[in-house]
C-alpha cells in the first residue's frame, strides 16, 4: 500500500498564509513530503496588503509601514528583492519627518502657535510612553507596590490618558488666556490638541474608542527599533516574492471556505460533540472543507489565517463560514474578547486647477471642537470630526491622505464618493481659510471678492479602503481590549487538537492550526506579526513530521 502524503490546506493568501506555504514548500520540496495548497476566498493574493494606484501614484490601501527596520523580517525581504527604491512616485510620506512643515490649525481656521501645541504634545507622548512601558523599571515597580495604574484592574488607555490630562490641568498655574483664536479658550485648545493625538492613536491601534483599549497589555506590544519606512515598489512586492517559489496551482483564488468539519478528541473541551464517525465519506483525512461553490476538500492539517473579524463572525455563525463542531469555549472566548477595529485610508486628489507645485501642501494637523460643542461648525460632517491629519503622500504629490478609525471609518464605507468629496472639501477649506503661506497655498487665483475663501480645497476624485464591510476581513487589525489580555493572544495560537505528548497515539492531532496577525502575543496587528505566525505554524507541522532536523 502506498502511504498518502499528508494533505495541508492553508486558508488565506495573505502574509501569514503565504509565509507558511513558502516555509513548508521550501523546507520540503526536495523531499516531496506534503500535498500543499492555499485556498483564498478573494480574487487576489495579499489580503490586508493591497497595493493600488491612484492619480498616477502608487498607494497602499492596507498595510503601509515597516514598523521599525532593525530586525524586521519584512525589511530583510524588501532589501533582498530591491523593493526599497523606485523610479515611480510612491506613498513615501517624506514630508512627515519635517516638523517645520507641520502646521496645527483649530476649527475656524486659527493656526496654533507652537507654545500651545508643544506642551500638550509632549504630555501626550510621555503618557503613551508610560502605557508602552518605556519608563524606568523602578517607576513601574513603585506603581505596582502602590497598587497603582493598570495592573489587572481593567484600566483602559483612554482613561489613563484622561487622568493624565486632568492631572496636567490641575498642576499648571493659572495660565494667561490666549488671544486671536476666536471663541477658543486656552484650555479648550489644549484639550483639542490632546484629542487630536488621541485620534491618531485610534488609527494606530484600531481601537475606535480608547476606553476599550487595555492599559496593561499595551506594555507587552513590541516594536522594532530603527526608522519606520514605506516600501517603494509596494507592500505587495513582499507578498509576490513569498508566493513566487510556489508551483503553479498551489494558490487557488476564488475558493471561499464556508464550513470546516473537524474531529475533536474526547479530551477537547468541546460542548455538544456528537463524536463523528472518524471517516469522512471515503477519506481517511480528518478535516473536511466546504467551499462556496459546493465543492469539498479533505485535509490532514488546515492552517487558518483568516482575520479575527472573520473568526468572530464564524463563532456567531453569521459570516458564511463556520466550524462543525463549534470551536472549544476557551478558543471561542478568546476570539470574542479580543478587539478588532476598523481603520480606513482616504485618498483625495486635488483638482488640477489648484496650484501646489511651488510650495507643497503642508502636513496639516486638525483641532476640532468637541462634537457636542455649540461652537462647532455645523457644515462639517460628524464623520470628519476625528480626522487628525491631512498630508500629501509625498512632498509635491497632488494626492492627499487622511486616516479614519471606528464609527467614522465605517461611515466612510457607507458614503458615496460625491458625499465624501463634499464633506472633506468643506472641512479642509474651513481649516485652511485663513492660512497664509509664501505662495497662496491651494488656489493660485487671487479673487477680487474678499469674502470668498481663497484657500478653497477642491478635490477631483477620492478613493477609500473598505476593510470593515468586506466579508473577507470585517475589520482592519486586532487590539487587546479591556477584559482581554495577552493570554488570549496565546490561546488564539493553540492548535486543535493539541499535539499531545501524553497521548502520543491520539488520533489526528493538529487538524486545525491558527496563524495570522491576531495570533501573535507581542507583534499582533502588523505584517511582521502575521509573518512570524505563519512561520510558527509551518514549523509546528514540520516538527510534527520530524522534518526540522533535516532542514537548516
Binding stretches for ligand NAG (CB under 6 A): 50, 52, 61, 94-95, 98-101, 153-154, 183, 317, 322, 326, 357, 374-375, 395-398, 465-467, 470, 483
CB of 530 to ligand FAD, least distance (A): 3
| 3-class state of residue 407 by DSSP | helix
H, E, C per residue of 240-272 = HHHHCCCCCCCEECCCCEEEEECCCCCCCCCCC
CB of 234 to ligand FAD, least distance (A): 13
Among ligand FAD, ligand NAG, none, what does residue 154 contact (CB within 5–8 Å per kind)?
ligand NAG
Q: In this complex, which beta carbon is closest to ligand NAG, that of residue 80 or of residue 227?
A: 227
| Stretch of 131-139, 299-307, 385-393, 489-497 lying at the interface with ligand FAD (CB under 6 A) | 299-307
Q: In this complex, which beta carbon is closest to ligand NAG, that of residue 53 or of residue 166?
A: 53
CB-CB contact of 345 with 400 (8 Å): no
Among ligand NAG, ligand FAD, none, what does residue 371 contact (CB within 5–8 Å per kind)?
none
> Which single residue brings its beta carbon nearest to ligand NAG?
52
489 binds ligand FAD (CB under 6 A): no
Among 33, 196, 260, 306, binds ligand FAD (CB under 6 A): 306
The span from the CA of 387 to the CA of 420, in Å, is: 13
Q: In this complex, which beta carbon is closest to ligand FAD, that of residue 354 or of residue 390?
A: 390
What residues contact 52, with CB distance under 8 A and at least 6 apart? 58, 59, 60, 61, 463
Beta carbons within 10 angstroms of residue 407's beta carbon: 15
| Stretch of 28-36, 44-52, 177-185, 386-394 lying at the interface with ligand FAD (CB under 6 A) | 44-52
Signed CA dihedral, 473, 478, 481, 484: sign only: positive
Query: Which residue, among 541, 548, 550, has the nearest Cα to 5 in the 3D structure?
Result: 541
CA distances from 168 to 192, 366, 388 (A): 14, 22, 22
Query: What does the block give as the cell for 343?
Result: 481603520
345 binds ligand FAD (CB under 6 A): yes
The span from the CA of 311 to the CA of 493, in Å, is: 13
Contacting ligand FAD within 214-243 (CB under 6 A):
none
455 binds ligand FAD (CB under 6 A): no
CB of 360 to ligand NAG, least distance (A): 7
Among 9, 41, 428, 468, binds ligand FAD (CB under 6 A): 41
Among ligand NAG, ligand FAD, none, what does residue 42 contact (CB within 5–8 Å per kind)?
ligand FAD
The span from the CA of 435 to the CA of 121, in Å, is: 22
CB of 187 to ligand FAD, least distance (A): 34
Return the beta strands (E) in 34-84 as ranges.
35-39, 51-54, 57-60, 65-66
CB-CB contact of 462 with 421 (8 Å): yes
Buried b / exposed e over 313-342, threshold 16 CB at 10 Å, is: bbbeeebebbbebbbbeebbebbebbbbbb
CB-CB contact of 247 with 516 (8 Å): no
CB-CB contact of 348 with 399 (8 Å): yes
What residues contact 158, with CB distance under 8 A and at least 6 apart? 198, 209, 210, 211, 212, 213
Among 42, 192, 328, 339, binds ligand FAD (CB under 6 A): 42
Among ligand NAG, ligand FAD, none, what does residue 366 contact (CB within 5–8 Å per kind)?
none
What residues contact 527, with CB distance under 8 A and at least 6 apart? 15, 49, 63, 66, 74, 235, 238, 517
| Stretch of 20-28, 40-48, 137-145, 367-375 lying at the interface with ligand FAD (CB under 6 A) | 40-48
CB of 529 to ligand FAD, least distance (A): 6
Contacting ligand FAD within 15-34 (CB under 6 A):
15-17
The span from the CA of 23 to the CA of 124, in Å, is: 42
CB of 38 to ligand FAD, least distance (A): 9
11 binds ligand FAD (CB under 6 A): yes
Q: How far is CA 193 from the centre of its chain?
A: 24
Q: In this complex, which beta carbon is closest to ligand FAD, that of residue 74 or of residue 442?
A: 74
The span from the CA of 391 to the CA of 401, in Å, is: 5
Among 83, 387, 511, 526, binds ligand FAD (CB under 6 A): 526
Q: In this complex, which beta carbon is closest to ligand NAG, that of residue 98 or of residue 267?
A: 98
CB of 2 to ligand NAG, least distance (A): 37
CB of 424 to ligand FAD, least distance (A): 18
441 binds ligand FAD (CB under 6 A): no
| 3-class state of residue 89 by DSSP | coil
The residues facing 399 across adjacent strands are: 349
Query: Which residue, among 145, 185, 190, has the nearest Cα to 166 in the 3D structure?
Result: 190
Beta carbons within 10 angstroms of residue 364's beta carbon: 23
CB of 324 to ligand FAD, least distance (A): 14
The span from the CA of 85 to the CA of 88, in Å, is: 9
Q: In this complex, which beta carbon is closest to ligand FAD, that of residue 194 or of residue 514?
A: 514
CB of 83 to ligand NAG, least distance (A): 18
Among ligand FAD, ligand NAG, none, what does residue 326 contact (CB within 5–8 Å per kind)?
ligand NAG
> Which positions lie near ligand FAD, rule CB under 6 A?
11-17, 39-42, 47-49, 62-65, 67, 256-257, 305-307, 310, 321, 343, 345, 465, 467, 472-473, 476-477, 516-517, 525-527, 530
Amino acid at each position: 500500500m502506498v502511504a498518502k502524503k499528508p494533505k495541508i490546506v492553508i486558508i488565506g493568501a495573505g502574509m501569514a498564509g503565504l509565509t507558511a506555504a513558502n516555509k513548508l514548500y521550501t523546507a520540503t520540496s526536495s523531499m516531496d513530503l506534503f500535498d500543499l495548497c492555499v485556498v483564498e476566498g478573494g480574487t487576489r493574493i495579499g489580503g490586508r496588503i493591497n497595493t493600488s494606484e491612484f492619480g498616477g501614484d502608487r498607494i497602499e490601501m492596507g498595510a503601509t509601514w515597516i514598523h521599525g527596520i532593525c530586525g524586521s523580517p519584512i525589511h530583510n525581504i524588501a532589501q533582498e528583492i530591491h523593493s526599497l527604491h523606485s523610479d515611480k512616485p510612491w506613498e513615501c510620506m517624506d514630508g512627515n519627518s519635517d516638523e517645520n512643515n507641520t502646521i496645527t490649525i483649530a476649527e475656524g481656521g486659527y493656526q496654533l502657535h507652537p507654545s500651545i501645541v508643544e506642551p500638550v504634545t509632549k504630555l501626550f507622548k510621555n503618557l503613551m510612553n508610560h502605557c508602552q512601558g518605556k519608563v524606568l523599571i523602578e517607576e513601574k515597580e513603585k506603581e505596582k507596590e502602590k497598587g497603582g495604574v493598570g495592573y489587572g484592574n481593567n484600566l483602559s488607555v483612554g482613561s489613563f490618558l484622561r487622568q493624565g490630562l486632568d492631572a496636567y490641568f490641575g498642576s499648571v498655574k493659572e495660565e494667561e488666556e490666549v488671544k486671536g483664536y476666536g471663541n477658543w479658550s486656552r484650555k479648550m485648545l489644549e484639550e483639542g490638541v490632546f484629542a487630536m493625538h488621541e485620534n491618531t492613536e485610534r488609527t494606530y491601534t484600531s481601537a475606535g474608542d480608547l476606553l476599550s483599549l487595555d492599559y496593561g497589555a499595551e506594555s507587552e506590544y513590541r516594536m522594532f527599533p530603527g526608522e519606520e519606512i514605506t516600501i517603494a515598489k509596494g507592500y505587495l512586492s513582499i507578498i509576490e516574492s513569498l508566493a513566487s517559489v510556489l508551483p503553479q496551482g498551489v494558490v487557488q483564488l476564488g475558493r471561499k471556505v464556508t464550513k470546516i468539519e473537524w474531529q475533536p478528541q474526547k479530551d477537547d473541551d468541546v460542548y455538544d460533540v456528537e463524536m463523528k464517525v472518524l471517516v469522512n465519506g471515503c477519506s481517511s483525512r480528518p478535516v473536511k472543507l466546504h467551499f462556496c461553490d459546493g465543492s469539498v476538500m479533505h485535509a490532514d492539517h488546515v492552517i487558518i489565517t483568516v482575520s479575527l473579524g472573520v473568526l468572530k463572525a464564524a463563532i456567531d455563525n453569521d459570516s458564511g463560514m463556520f466550524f462543525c463542531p463549534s470551536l472549544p469555549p476557551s478558543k471561542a472566548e478568546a476570539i470574542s474578547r479580543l478587539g478588532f477595529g476598523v481603520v480606513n485610508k482616504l485618498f483625495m486628489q486635488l483638482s488640477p486647477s489648484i496650484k501646489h507645485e511651488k510650495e507643497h501642501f503642508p502636513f496639516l494637523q486638525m483641532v476640532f471642537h468637541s462634537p457636542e460643542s455649540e461652537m462647532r461648525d455645523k457644515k462639517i460632517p460628524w464623520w470628519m470630526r476625528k480626522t487628525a491629519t491631512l498630508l500629501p503622500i509625498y512632498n509635491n504629490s497632488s494626492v492627499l491622505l487622511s486616516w479614519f478609525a471606528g464609527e467614522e471609518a465605517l461611515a466612510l464605507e457607507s458614503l458615496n464618493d460625491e458625499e465624501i468629496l463634499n464633506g472633506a472639501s468643506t472641512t479642509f477649506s474651513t481649516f485652511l481659510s485663513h492660512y497664509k503661506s509664501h505662495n497662496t497655498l491651494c488656489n493660485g487665483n487671487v479673487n477680487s471678492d474678499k469674502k470668498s475663501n481663497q484657500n478653497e480645497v477642491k478635490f477631483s476624485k477620492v478613493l477609500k479602503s473598505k476593510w470593515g464591510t468586506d466579508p473577507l476581513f470585517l475589520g482592519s487589525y486586532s487590539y487587546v481590549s479591556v477584559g482581554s489580555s495577552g493570554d488570549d493572544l496565546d490561546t488564539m495560537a493553540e492548535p486543535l487538537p493539541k499535539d499531545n505528548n501524553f497521548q502520543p497515539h491520539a488520533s489526528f492531532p493538529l487538524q486545525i492550526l491558527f496563524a495570522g496577525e491576531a495570533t501573535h502575543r507581542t507583534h499582533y496587528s502588523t505584517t511582521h506579526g502575521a509573518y512570524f505566525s505563519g512561520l510558527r505554524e509551518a514549523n509546528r507541522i514540520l516538527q510534527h513530521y520530524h522534518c526540522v532536523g533535516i532542514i537548516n
